[in-house]
Amino acid sequence: MAKRGKVTEEIKAKAKELLGIEDLSQKELRLIPYVLYVAANEQRIELHRVSIEEIDILKKWQVNGWLSGHLSTQMGMSKEFWLAANELLWLAYVEHDD
């Protein structure tokens, strides 16, 4: 495992395999934990907590069908994205021997 939370070639390859993301950015990887928290809890993005660049990422994820609904009132998430995002976070943040 590289430095905790850093995008590595392994993580980029997994993002491409699972979601078709050609070049996962550090900003996208760092946004995932917040989006998963929101999906599991309050189900709405607090717009004052995200940057314009992050809003653009969220909109892209909506276009791809991974997020649904109105982000700031009732956000939904596809099971595909939930599972893939958790896999990416495991690779990026959890110490493992694989």
In which band, very low, low, confident or very high, does the pLDDT at 98 lie, cut at 50, 70 and 90? low
Per-domain residue ranges for the chain?
9-93
pLDDT by residue (tens digit) across 67-95? 999 888 889 999 999 999 999 999 998 87
Contacts 24+ apart (CB under 8 A), 66-69: 66/19, 67/35
Q: Which pTM value belongs to this model?
A: 0.88
- d(CA 68, CA 74) in angstroms, rounded, equals 8
Q: Taking a C-beta distance cutoff of 8 angstroms, is the pair 33, 22 a contact?
A: no
In the chain, what is the straight-line distance between the N-terminal and C-terminal CA atoms, in Å? 9
